[in-house]
């Protein structure tokens, strides 16, 4: 840039620099503060949804029935036993990954894809599945049925 | 020999003697068997080595050579093979099933070793093609030892066993793929080759799924017989339940039955069951519908509609997948949408099963379910991309502001250094 | 009277503002061709400041337990407004800070700024560099993803091979025999409490020393200025040097923003302690040269275990490096040559082994 030689342009140049610098600094501070302020506001959904989810409401299931719920990125099966208690397992069949279902009449878990059967403890009792289903812990909290993975040390 | 065994008294004597031998053999499970002393050094087919025999499950349970061959294992040399001691030498092929069956069909006897082992193998064998032909005098057919082995017989749970699920097909193919051996029987010899190209074989060998069907799953093992035309559907239905249920309710079942066609096999093949693609519903070389139906008739139209629906969902799924991948590679987090994509894929799988009802409305239902999901995931992917673009615009804006500040600073520095003289300013930029 | 002047007045009536700020107003920075290198310390400090700020923000949402850590980082990246920005800036600035810290250290070495009377400045600086790497190592585990989990496992395994104290050190770091949720909690404590505490003390000392001694002039320039005093040039720190430094800081900000928006930091997959180790585990780039060295040392060297030898070698090298100024006492030409030689060797070794580590599969 050319050095200041023209006295008349001095005030004008000064103004430009003032605006540029002042406005720029102000603008940059705003562009830092604005995200920080938005960040500080807690999002509406507070739950992480990782190792623990609300699988449903207490009154939702009748005894001896079940529903599929979402657990992280995989499906889970929440079963309400005939005596009113709950149990929850992974709903991903260990054979080829299909979603299993609950058969109340025989109180077994069945996979429609290749006719695999599991007992209520998740153990694979008949058909192709090579491994048992993972069993989750169920807790009741107020109105909610909470399902969580078994705790590690 | 035959007359000896047809005599009831002689039979029970032999049986009694053999049981005695077994008891003696069991009691002396660790007692040296002189038979192997010579036979280990002989050439095949007389050769049986200790290494071989120690792998044999009968040997491990305490049986000896004499248990099946008779003779006296405590004597040395040729004295062991005394006829007086009941020595039978090489068992005739057509007597082998009976020999094995003497123990294996005796429930009370087998209970002593493994109460949950079945004891109907001989009865089943007699219903099989192999069993029936053996009775007619054909000794080329398979008898117990051909599949199970004889002196190094292993249980099916042992993966080295000839009858382990992984090895069954190869065991069957030893005869059934040998064109010269099978001459005169009038059945093809390409089953094993075809099976090796099938998705069932791939499931077992590539994916390690031991529950995948092999020859014996559909044909039976001891009662090996090809399933009859009426029973093909039942056999497949053991695993493919839903497809079978839909097929039952469809128009194809009565049509196939009256035409004497073997159900599932008509469209899917039997030994070379390949992974079914949507091309089966098409009009190309893999198309199956048009083998019977005429172009333009209602069935053809239904076929076209189902194919259209499937293709629509498949395309929607792939398109959403592409958008999500683009979002992911620009660093956006879309794991929630990915999970929903899995559900969309499940819908597609379900729709492909529903084809077996041959009703377009049912297929349509599953497709619509899937399309709802893909619409959602597609939107989520687009939203992620839009967010990414928003961030980049934000970045552009803040970079602009930063540039303004940099420029301002630059000019300001120039300004104060050109005007003030209270400091020696050395230009840092030359 | 403007508001600004009124506020100034209020303070001047109570504090001897003129005296307090005199050193700052009079502070002069030597101006020569190599003056740009003076920026590096300030940029490292600036990046540290950014780490503290973004770190505090992350603390508002992060959960330091094995069952929730990964999910909380995922939450920050996806649900918190501008959480992606804060997290990515934190991760990128961490790497940039360690990079500028290394550059700062090497520039001080090559420009001879460690010489008498600035030995303590060098020592506190080296300790700060070690603390920075400790920050990097402990912070890396906090998202609890697969890469971090196994990198930590390998890293702590290596410390376990130090003779005598190795096992104790490993158990101390891991909070047990294995890397578990306990390790995570412990690393979190190191990262947000212990290391910041130590760093604050050392940093204040380091900056105070820099202010006290002023900026050092490289030997060659020093010699020239001694011969021709009229050649000596200085610029005032405030406002001249400061404004230029501000430009450097703004450039750094721009780079950080661009990196965060265009190359956001990966989340990875949640760590599964029972899964087999994935292929290609490696530490962050600033540990790569040591890691690659250990990989390449043969299993046995004479009678000694190769790994132990390597670790000991690095330990000894580290200690010698901290004591570097004492190898170049004033007026010793040979000492200077020794230090320069060691510096060249170290720099080339680090660069070569880092590149090697990334090229080798």
One domain for residues B265 and B311: no
**Phi/psi zone of residue A122: left (φ > 0), alpha (ψ -120 to 50 degrees), beta?**
left
Burial class of residue A3 in the structure, from the number of CB atoms within 10 Å of its CB (0-12 exposed, 13-18 middle, 19+ buried):
exposed
C-alpha C139/C-alpha A72 separation (Å) is 25
Burial class of residue B213 in the structure, from the number of CB atoms within 10 Å of its CB (0-12 exposed, 13-18 middle, 19+ buried):
buried
* Residue-wise DSSP of A57-76: ETTTSPTTEEEEEEETTEEE
C29-38 confidence digits (pLDDT tens): 998 888 899 9
* Residues in C 225-254 with any Cβ partner in A closer than 8 A: 250, 253
Q: Which helix (H) or strand (E) holds C311?
A: helix C306-322
- How many contacts (CB atoms, under 8 Å) link A and C? 55
Give yes or no for A49 touching C (CB within 8 A).
Answer: yes
C-alpha B261/C-alpha C294 separation (Å) is 70
Burial class of residue B217 in the structure, from the number of CB atoms within 10 Å of its CB (0-12 exposed, 13-18 middle, 19+ buried):
middle
Q: Which helix (H) or strand (E) holds C28?
A: strand C28-30
* Residue-wise DSSP of chain A: ------TTHHHHHHHHHHHHHHHHHHHHHHHHHHHHHHHHSPPS-----SSEEEEEETTTSPTTEEEEEEETTEEEEEEE-TTS-EEEEE-B-TTT-PBPEEETTTTEEEETTTTEEE-TT--EEESS--SPPPEEEEEEETTEEEEEPPPP-
C-alpha B375/C-alpha B381 separation (Å) is 10
* Residues in C 76-135 with any Cβ partner in B closer than 8 A: 77-78, 84-85
Of A99, A64, A58, A93, which Cα lies nearest the Cα of A79? A64
Inter-chain touch A31–B398, beta carbons under 8 Å? yes
SS (H, E, C) C184-248: HHHHHHHHHHHHHHHHHHHHHHHHHHHHHHCCCCCHHHHHHHHHCHHHCCEEEHHHHHHHHHHHH
Contact B363, B355 (CB under 8 A): yes
One domain for residues B389 and B311: yes
Q: Is B106 helix (H, G, I), strand (E, B) or coil?
A: coil
**Phi/psi zone of residue B210: left (φ > 0), alpha (ψ -120 to 50 degrees), beta?**
alpha
Of B270, B283, B258, B186, which Cα lies nearest the Cα of B226? B270
* Residues in B 326-345 with any Cβ partner in C closer than 8 A: 331-333, 335
- Chains touching B (at least 3 CB pairs under 8 A) are A, C
Radius of gyration of chain B (CA): 36
B358-415 confidence digits (pLDDT tens): 999 999 999 999 999 999 999 999 999 999 899 889 999 999 999 999 999 988 888 8
Which residue shows structure tokens 């005093």?
Answer: C229
B212: which chain A residues are within 8 Å (Cβ-Cβ)?
128
- How many contacts (CB atoms, under 8 Å) link B and C? 70
Inter-chain touch A36–C82, beta carbons under 8 Å? yes
End-to-end CA distance of chain B: give it in Å, rounded: 116
Of B171, B152, B158, B153, which Cα lies nearest the Cα of B48? B152
C-alpha A100/C-alpha A133 separation (Å) is 10
Residue A2 has pLDDT above 50, yes or no: no
Give yes or no for B242 touching A (CB within 8 A).
Answer: yes
Inter-chain touch C74–B335, beta carbons under 8 Å? yes
State the pLDDT at residue A144.
86
Q: Does a structural domain hold residue B347?
A: yes
pTM: 0.72
C63-79 confidence digits (pLDDT tens): 998 888 998 998 998 88
- Return phi, psi of residue B30, to 5°: -95, 0
Which of B240, B274, B308 corresponds to the end of one domain? B274
C83-106 confidence digits (pLDDT tens): 999 999 999 999 999 999 999 999
One domain for residues B311 and B389: yes
Contact A110, A153 (CB under 8 A): no
Q: Does a structural domain hold residue C206?
A: yes
B243-261 confidence digits (pLDDT tens): 888 999 999 999 998 988 8
Q: Does a structural domain hold residue C64?
A: yes
C320-342 confidence digits (pLDDT tens): 999 999 998 877 788 899 999 99
**pLDDT band for position B422 (50/70/90)?**
very low
Handedness of CA B283, B284, B286, B292 (dihedral sign): positive
Give residue C128's Cα distance to chain centre: 7
- Chains touching C (at least 3 CB pairs under 8 A) are A, B
* pLDDT top residue among C51 and B257: C51
Give A68's contacts (C-beta < 8 A, 6+ positions apart): A75, A76, A77, A78, A91, A99
Tokens, residue C176: 């047990």
One domain for residues B255 and B344: no
- Return phi, psi of residue A124, to 5°: -80, 115
Of B83, B57, B54, which Cα lies nearest the Cα of B70? B83
Give yes or no for B425 touching C (CB within 8 A).
Answer: yes
Tokens, residue A29: 């501070």
Share the mean pLDDT of chain C: 91
C-alpha B76/C-alpha B262 separation (Å) is 59
Residue C15 is classified by DSSP as S
Q: What's the domain range around C201?
A: 39-215+253-281
One domain for residues B306 and B387: yes
* Furthest-apart CA atoms within chain C: distance in Å: 81
Q: The CATH number of the domain where C106 resides is what?
A: 1.20.810.10
C-alpha C312/C-alpha B80 separation (Å) is 73
One domain for residues B269 and B325: no
State the pLDDT at residue C37.
92
* Furthest-apart CA atoms within chain A: distance in Å: 98
SS (H, E, C) B298-363: HHHHHHHHHHHHHHHHHHHHHHHHHHHHHHHHCCCCCHHHHHHHHHHHHHHHHHHHHHHHCCHHHH
The domain total for chain C is: 1
Residue B322 has pLDDT above 90, yes or no: yes
Q: Does a structural domain hold residue C340?
A: no
Q: How far is CA B250 from CA B138, B244, B255, B367, C44, in A?
A: 43, 10, 9, 19, 75
Tokens, residue C219: 């030997």
C-alpha C283/C-alpha C290 separation (Å) is 10
One domain for residues B312 and B381: yes
The domain total for chain B is: 2
Q: Does a structural domain hold residue B309?
A: yes
Give yes or no for B340 touching A (CB within 8 A).
Answer: no
Share the mean pLDDT of chain B: 85
Tokens, residue B143: 């008898």
**Residue among A36, A41, A52 whose CB faces C57 most closely:** A36
C167-203 confidence digits (pLDDT tens): 999 999 999 999 999 999 999 999 999 999 999 999 9
CA distance C234 to chain B (A): 6
CA distance A151 to chain C (A): 8
B264-318 confidence digits (pLDDT tens): 888 998 898 988 888 888 888 888 888 888 888 888 899 999 999 999 999 999 9
C247: which chain B residues are within 8 Å (Cβ-Cβ)?
406, 409-410
Q: Does a structural domain hold residue C178?
A: yes
C-alpha B134/C-alpha B101 separation (Å) is 15
**pLDDT band for position A9 (50/70/90)?**
low
**pLDDT band for position B28 (50/70/90)?**
very low
Q: How far is CA C55 from CA B239, C139, C143, C201, C319, in A?
A: 55, 10, 13, 18, 30
**Residue among B211, B242, B415 whose CB faces A128 most closely:** B211
Give C260's contacts (C-beta < 8 A, 6+ positions apart): C84, C85, C88, C89, C92
Give yes or no for C233 touching B (CB within 8 A).
Answer: yes
Share the mean pLDDT of chain A: 84
B395: which chain C residues are within 8 Å (Cβ-Cβ)?
257-258, 261-262
Q: What's the domain range around B343?
A: 298-400
Radius of gyration of chain A (CA): 30
Calculate mean pLDDT across residues C269-291: 86
Q: Does a structural domain hold residue B384?
A: yes
C-alpha C259/C-alpha C255 separation (Å) is 6
Calculate mean pLDDT across residues A57-84: 87
Q: Does a structural domain hold residue B235?
A: yes
Contact A67, A60 (CB under 8 A): yes
C-alpha C346/C-alpha A5 separation (Å) is 51
Q: Does a structural domain hold residue B332?
A: yes
Tokens, residue B267: 């469209």
In percent, the amount of chain C with pLDDT more than 90 equals 62
Looking at C15-159, list the stretches that DSSP marks H as alpha helix, in order from N- to C-terminal side: 17-26, 39-59, 69-78, 83-110, 119-141, 146-159
Q: What's the ipTM?
A: 0.82
- Return phi, psi of residue C28, to 5°: -125, 140
* Residue-wise DSSP of B110-149: HTTT-TTS---HHHHHHHSHHHHHHHTT-TTS--HHHHH-
Contact B156, B165 (CB under 8 A): yes
Half-sphere exposure of B280 (CA within 13 A, CB side): 13
Give yes or no for B420 touching A (CB within 8 A).
Answer: no
Residue B430 has pLDDT above 60, yes or no: no
Tokens, residue A45: 């959904």
Tokens, residue B39: 């036979």
A19-30 confidence digits (pLDDT tens): 888 888 999 999
Contact B204, B212 (CB under 8 A): yes
Give B419's contacts (C-beta < 8 A, 6+ positions apart): A4
Chain B, nearest residue to A25 by Cα: B405
Q: Does a structural domain hold residue B417?
A: no
Residue B418 has pLDDT above 60, yes or no: yes
A108-111 β-sheet, strand order: A101-103, A108-111, A116-118, A124-126
Q: Does a structural domain hold residue B362?
A: yes
Q: Does a structural domain hold residue B341?
A: yes
One domain for residues B302 and B361: yes
């Amino acid at each position: 840039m050319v050095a200041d030689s023209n006295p008349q342009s001095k005030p004008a140049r000064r103004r430009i620099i003032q605006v540029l610098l002042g406005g720029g600094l102000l603008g940059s501070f705003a562009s830092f503060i604005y995200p920080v302020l938005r960040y500080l506001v807690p999002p509406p959904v507070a739950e992480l949804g990782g190792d623990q989810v609300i699988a449903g409401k207490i009154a939702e299931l009748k005894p001896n029935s079940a529903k599929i719920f979402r657990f992280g990125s995989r499906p889970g099966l929440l079963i309400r036993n005939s005596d009113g208690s709950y149990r929850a397992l992974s709903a991903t069949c260990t054979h080829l990954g299909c979603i299993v279902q609950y058969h109340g009449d025989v109180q077994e878990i069945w996979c429609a894809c290749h006719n695999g059967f599991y007992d209520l403890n998740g153990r694979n009792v008949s058909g192709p599945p090579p491994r048992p289903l993972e069993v989750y812990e169920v807790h009741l909290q107020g109105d909610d049925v909470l399902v969580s993975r078994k705790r590690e040390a | 020999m035959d007359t000896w065994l047809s005599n009831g008294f002689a039979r029970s004597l032999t049986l009694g003697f053999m049981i005695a031998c077994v008891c003696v053999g069991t009691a002396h499970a660790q007692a040296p068997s002189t038979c192997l002393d010579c036979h280990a050094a002989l050439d095949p087919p007389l050769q049986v080595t200790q290494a071989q025999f120690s792998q044999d499950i009968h040997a491990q349970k305490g049986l000896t050579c004499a248990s099946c061959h008779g003779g006296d294992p405590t004597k040395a040399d040729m004295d062991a093979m005394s006829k007086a001691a009941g020595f039978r030498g090489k068992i005739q092929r057509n007597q082998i099933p009976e020999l094995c069956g003497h123990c294996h069909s005796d429930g009370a006897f087998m209970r002593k070793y493994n109460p949950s082992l079945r004891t109907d193998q001989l009865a089943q064998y007699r219903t099989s093609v192999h069993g029936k032909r053996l009775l007619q005098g054909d000794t080329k057919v398979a008898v117990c030892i051909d599949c199970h082995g004889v002196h190094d017989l292993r249980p099916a749970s042992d993966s080295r066993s000839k009858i382990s699920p992984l090895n069954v097909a190869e065991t069957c193919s030893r005869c059934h793929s040998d064109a010269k051996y099978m001459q005169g029987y009038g059945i093809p010899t390409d089953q094993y080759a075809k099976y090796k190209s099938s998705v069932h074989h791939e499931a077992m060998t590539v994916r390690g799924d031991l529950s995948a069907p092999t020859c014996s799953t559909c044909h039976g093992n001891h009662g090996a017989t090809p399933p009859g035309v009426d029973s093909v559907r039942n056999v497949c239905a053991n695993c493919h339940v839903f497809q079978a249920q839909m097929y039952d309710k469809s128009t194809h079942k009565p049509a196939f039955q009256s035409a004497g066609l073997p159900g599932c096999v008509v469209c899917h093949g039997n030994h070379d069951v390949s992974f079914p693609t949507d091309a089966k519903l098409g009009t190309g070389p893999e198309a199956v519908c048009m083998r019977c139906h005429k172009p333009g008739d209602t069935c053809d139209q239904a076929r076209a509609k189902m194919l259209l629906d499937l293709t629509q969902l498949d395309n929607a799924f792939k398109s959403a997948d592409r958008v999500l991948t683009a979002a992911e590679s620009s660093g956006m987090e879309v794991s929630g949408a990915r999970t929903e994509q899995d559900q969309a894929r499940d819908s597609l799988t379900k729709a492909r099963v529903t084809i077996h009802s041959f009703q377009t409305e049912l297929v349509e239902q599953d497709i619509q379910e899937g399309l709802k999901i893909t619409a959602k995931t597609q939107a989520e992917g687009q939203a992620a991309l839009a967010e990414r673009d928003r961030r980049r615009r934000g970045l552009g804006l803040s970079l602009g502001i930063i540039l303004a500040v940099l420029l301002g600073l630059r000019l300001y520095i120039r300004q104060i250094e050109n005007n003030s003289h209270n400091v020696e300013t050395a230009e840092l930029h030359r | 009277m403007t508001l600004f002047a009124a506020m100034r007045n209020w303070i001047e009536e109570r504090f001897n503002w003129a005296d307090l700020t005199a050193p700052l107003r009079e502070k002069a920075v030597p101006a020569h061709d190599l003056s740009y290198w003076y920026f590096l310390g300030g940029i490292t400090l600036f990046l540290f400041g950014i780490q503290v700020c973004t770190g505090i923000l992350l603390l508002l949402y992060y959960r330091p337990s094995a069952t929730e850590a990964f999910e909380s980082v995922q939450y920050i990246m996806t649900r918190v407004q501008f959480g992606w920005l804060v997290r990515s800036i934190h991760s990128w600035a961490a790497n940039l800070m360690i990079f500028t810290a290394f550059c700062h250290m090497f520039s001080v070495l090559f420009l001879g700024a460690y010489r008498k009377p600035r030995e303590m400045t060098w020592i506190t600086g080296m300790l700060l560099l070690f603390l920075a790497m400790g920050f990097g190592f402990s912070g890396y585990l906090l998202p609890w993803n697969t890469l971090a989990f196994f990198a930590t496992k390998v890293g702590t395994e290596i410390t376990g091979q130090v003779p005598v104290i190795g096992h104790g050190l490993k158990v101390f770091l891991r909070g047990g025999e294995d890397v578990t949720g306990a390790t995570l909690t412990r690393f979190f404590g190191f990262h947000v409490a212990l290391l910041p505490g130590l760093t604050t003390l050392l940093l204040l000392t380091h900056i105070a020393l820099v202010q006290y001694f002023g900026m050092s002039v490289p030997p060659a320039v020093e010699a020239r200025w001694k011969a021709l005093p009229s050649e000596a040039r200085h610029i005032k720190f405030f406002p001249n040097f400061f404004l230029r430094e501000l430009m450097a800081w703004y450039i750094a900000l721009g780079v950080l923003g661009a990196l965060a928006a265009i190359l956001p930091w990966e989340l990875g997959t949640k760590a599964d302690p029972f899964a087999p180790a994935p292929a290609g585990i490696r530490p962050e780039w600033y540990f790569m040269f040591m890691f690659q060295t250990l990989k390449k040392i043969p299993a046995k060297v004479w009678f000694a275990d190769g790994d132990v030898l390597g670790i000991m070698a690095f330990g000894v090298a580290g200690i010698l490096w901290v004591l570097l100024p004492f190898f170049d006492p004033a007026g010793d030409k040979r000492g200077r040559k020794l230090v320069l030689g060691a510096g060249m060797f170290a720099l080339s070794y680090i660069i070569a082994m880092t590149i090697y580590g990334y090229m080798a599969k």
